[in-house]
Chains A and B, each alone.
Chain A
Amino acid sequence: MSFVPGQPVTAVVERVEIQKLRQGENLILGFSIGGGIDQDPGQNPFSEDKSDKGIYVTRISPKGPADLAGLKMGDKIMQVNGWDMTMVTHDQARKKLTKKREDVVRLLVTRKSLEEAVKHSKCSYPKH
């Protein structure tokens, strides 16, 4: 999940679609993010590579929209509604997630277990 400058980032991603919940004036998603290119990557507890400045999910409110949609703590968000999340500041990420006009956010998230699942499936079905 770390990037090599100049090379495209490849990852196995999962599509997660979250319906925003209306709470009074606000539309909430029910999770917290951490990370960003303006933050200190060494303090991120979820990243494998401590120089990874991507956006990570740090907390999920139980029974919130994100939880129901299947988002897990420690996921790295790669895209939000088509917007790239791998090279954004913390504030830009927050803005992309909390647009008032959008009711739904479609995230592409990646996590370690996805890679392993793909590897397992590759091994089980040998190539012809």
Chain B
Amino acid sequence: ILENQNVFKFLVVERSRDRHKSRSKDSRSEKSVTINTPPAEPLLGDTAVRGEQVQDDNWGETTTAITGTSEHSLSQEDIVRITKDLEDSVGLDCRRYFTRTLAIILGLLVFLTPLAFLVLPHILWPDKLQSCGTACEGLFISVAFKLLILLLAVWALFFRPARAGLPRVYVFRALLAVLVLLFVISYWLFYGVRILDSQDENYQGIVQYAVSLVDALLFIHYLAIVLLELRQLQPCYSVCVTRSTDGETRHYNLGQLSIQRAALAIIEHYYCDFPVHNPALLSASKSRAAKHLAGLKVYNVDGEFPAAPAEGPGNNAAAGIAHSQSRAMIAAAARRRDTSHNELYYEEAEHERRVRKRRARLVVAVEEAFTHIKRMQEEEQKKAPGDVMDPREAAQAIFPSMARALQKYLRTTKQQHCHSMESIQQHLAFCITNNMTPKAFLESYLTPGPTVQYSRDFWRARQWTLISEASVTSGLKDGTIFLLKCVDFSLVVTSKKIPYIQMSEEYIDPKSHKFVLRLQSETSV
């Protein structure tokens, strides 16, 4: 609608999403890397490993990570295509196997070294060797048990199913592996030069040397526990996680972690705490936004066509004109008498009323349905084996009476795609088996629960992208901001340092609690 002929000069063209996205991405030059969270595979997953074990964890990229803006500044369809490709890509698996074999080699090397130290003298110069006395044989026992303890400790710390595939190397694990490797190499060097070459006869000394190696390995394992597990336990930063589509916010306390590990912790919390992402609820605001500008159309009145090639001065003019044109549109939209707030208010009130009514009907229907089911005792079962049903059949029997009310309620709250009939019946059988009340059965339908609650195919967002301006292996700092993007939405994460708390004490003597009575009486005379 033409409002002001002087102001509008050009046709409004909707810019394509592709160009817009790539422009913004390039200008910011951020690194975007991909985190894969494979669902339930125990053997694949985490990045760098510490070594010293035959284990399942992955070694992260010792080569380059997936960085680079060009790969990810794409439109929606390309992102989806890339995720599909990555899942069957060969490159990623090669990296995982490579790290795993490295870890296995390191583990074998480390475990066999003390044994080799003990056995080699017997093989190479058995005649020159002093016989092993009592103290020496005692040391054998010590070596054996320490190796056993080391084995159990390594199993406990590293033989765990990997939770995720992180984009970069896990720095601490890589450092520890390098430390172990250097350590073992230096021990071999010393052994090779001083013992093998000179063919030392003092076997007890050799055994003590092997024992010292195992002791030092145990201490390195202690260091691993402290660095990998204990250091991040003390909360240090408070992170605020907001979902971009509907503004759901949660706060968590994290310790000193690198950005990628913090992102992993946040994703794990996301699945448990955030209500499931429901795109159907967002359509209302989008339609409102579309209506705001739908009534305005801009026409070119003065005859200057923007189809001229954008070179040199013409380009600048076009940019300047685009600015004034958008400002004009905003001004016109503000001036137009907008009653959409009224519509919103009444629409929301009406919706609320409708939801409450449907909910009341649903609650009554479910309560009624549950009264038809009664649990049979053992004795009764033997007496009357006629009409006995197992939980699934019982659920199927009472389901039809509540199905319609439940479906209407789910439709009104736009949750009907989250629950299939099969899942509802399963849940009903589960509730009946565990003696739950109708209210307990309904709880999962009345409020949208966390993503964990729904079926597997709801966990669509297994592929997350970490977008961060700082390097993802650097630690969390006060004011760090990064994004965790998945296909439908993104999580914006900001971190703040938990302040230093100064606490003082004040002693109250228990006898100091004394009271007086304050009256105001009135006497008539």
Residues of A within 8 A of B (CB): 28-29, 31-35, 38-40, 42-44, 58-59, 61, 90, 94, 97-98
Which of A34, A42, A61, A97 meets B521, CB within 8 Å? A34
B524 pairs with A59, CB closer than 8 A: yes
A126 to chain B, nearest CB (A): 43
A33 pairs with B520, CB closer than 8 A: no
Interface residue? B519 (CB, 8 A): yes
Q: Mark B511-525, 1 if CB is under 8 A from A, else 0.
A: 000000011111111
A33 pairs with B519, CB closer than 8 A: no
* Residues in A neighbouring B519, C-beta threshold 8 A: 38-40
B523 pairs with A94, CB closer than 8 A: yes
- Complex alpha-carbon distance, A43 and B520, angstroms: 7
- Complex alpha-carbon distance, A44 and B518, angstroms: 12
A40 pairs with B522, CB closer than 8 A: no
B523 pairs with A33, CB closer than 8 A: yes
Q: Which chain B residues (465-523) contact chain A, with CB distance < 8 Å?
A: 518-523
- Complex alpha-carbon distance, A69 and B279, angstroms: 85
B520 pairs with A34, CB closer than 8 A: yes
What 3 A-B pairs come out closest when comparing CB atoms? A40-B518, A43-B520, A32-B524
A108 to chain B, nearest CB (A): 16
Q: A31-B524, A40-B519, A40-B520 are in contact. List 15 more A-B contacts (CB 8 A).
A: A28-B524, A31-B525, A32-B522, A32-B523, A32-B525, A33-B523, A38-B519, A39-B520, A42-B518, A61-B524, A90-B521, A90-B523, A94-B523, A94-B525, A97-B525
- Complex alpha-carbon distance, A34 and B519, angstroms: 10
A and B contact pairs by CB, cutoff 8 A, 29 listed? A28-B524, A28-B525, A29-B525, A31-B525, A32-B524, A32-B525, A33-B522, A33-B523, A33-B525, A34-B520, A34-B523, A35-B520, A38-B519, A39-B518, A39-B520, A39-B521, A40-B518, A40-B519, A40-B520, A42-B518, A43-B518, A43-B520, A44-B520, A58-B522, A59-B522, A61-B524, A90-B523, A94-B523, A98-B525
Query: B interface, by DSSP: helix, strand, loop or mixed?
Result: loop
* Residues in B neighbouring A98, C-beta threshold 8 A: 525
Q: Which chain B residues (19-51) contact chain A, with CB distance < 8 Å?
A: none
- Complex alpha-carbon distance, A29 and B523, angstroms: 12
Query: A interface, by DSSP: helix, strand, loop or mixed?
Result: mixed
- Complex alpha-carbon distance, A28 and B523, angstroms: 12
A85 to chain B, nearest CB (A): 12
B525 pairs with A34, CB closer than 8 A: no
Q: Which residue of chain A lies nearest to B523 when distances are taken between CB atoms in the complex? A: A94
* Residues in A neighbouring B524, C-beta threshold 8 A: 28, 31-33, 59, 61
- Complex alpha-carbon distance, A27 and B46, angstroms: 99
Q: Which residue of chain B lies nearest to A20 when distances are taken between CB atoms in the complex? A: B525
- Complex alpha-carbon distance, A43 and B523, angstroms: 15
Interface centre among B519, B522, B524 (most CB of A within 10 A): B524
- Complex alpha-carbon distance, A32 and B522, angstroms: 6
Q: Which residue of chain A lies nearest to B516 when distances are taken between CB atoms in the complex? A: A40
A44 to chain B, nearest CB (A): 7
A73 to chain B, nearest CB (A): 12
* Residues in B neighbouring A29, C-beta threshold 8 A: 525
* Residues in B neighbouring A31, C-beta threshold 8 A: 524-525
Q: Which chain B residues (331-346) contact chain A, with CB distance < 8 Å?
A: none
- Complex alpha-carbon distance, A113 and B292, angstroms: 70
- Complex alpha-carbon distance, A35 and B520, angstroms: 7
- Complex alpha-carbon distance, A44 and B519, angstroms: 10
Q: Which chain B residues (420-466) contact chain A, with CB distance < 8 Å?
A: none
Q: Which chain B residues (184-219) contact chain A, with CB distance < 8 Å?
A: none
- Complex alpha-carbon distance, A98 and B522, angstroms: 15
- Complex alpha-carbon distance, A61 and B522, angstroms: 14
- Complex alpha-carbon distance, A31 and B524, angstroms: 6
* Residues in A neighbouring B520, C-beta threshold 8 A: 34-35, 39-40, 43-44
A33 to chain B, nearest CB (A): 6
B488 to chain A, nearest CB (A): 64
- Complex alpha-carbon distance, A38 and B518, angstroms: 8
- Complex alpha-carbon distance, A33 and B519, angstroms: 14
* Residues in B neighbouring A40, C-beta threshold 8 A: 518-520
B211 to chain A, nearest CB (A): 82
A96 to chain B, nearest CB (A): 10
B382 to chain A, nearest CB (A): 77
A32 to chain B, nearest CB (A): 4
- Complex alpha-carbon distance, A97 and B525, angstroms: 7
- Complex alpha-carbon distance, A97 and B521, angstroms: 16
* Residues in B neighbouring A43, C-beta threshold 8 A: 518, 520
Q: Which chain B residues (343-380) contact chain A, with CB distance < 8 Å?
A: none
- Complex alpha-carbon distance, A59 and B523, angstroms: 10
A72 to chain B, nearest CB (A): 16
- Complex alpha-carbon distance, A39 and B523, angstroms: 12
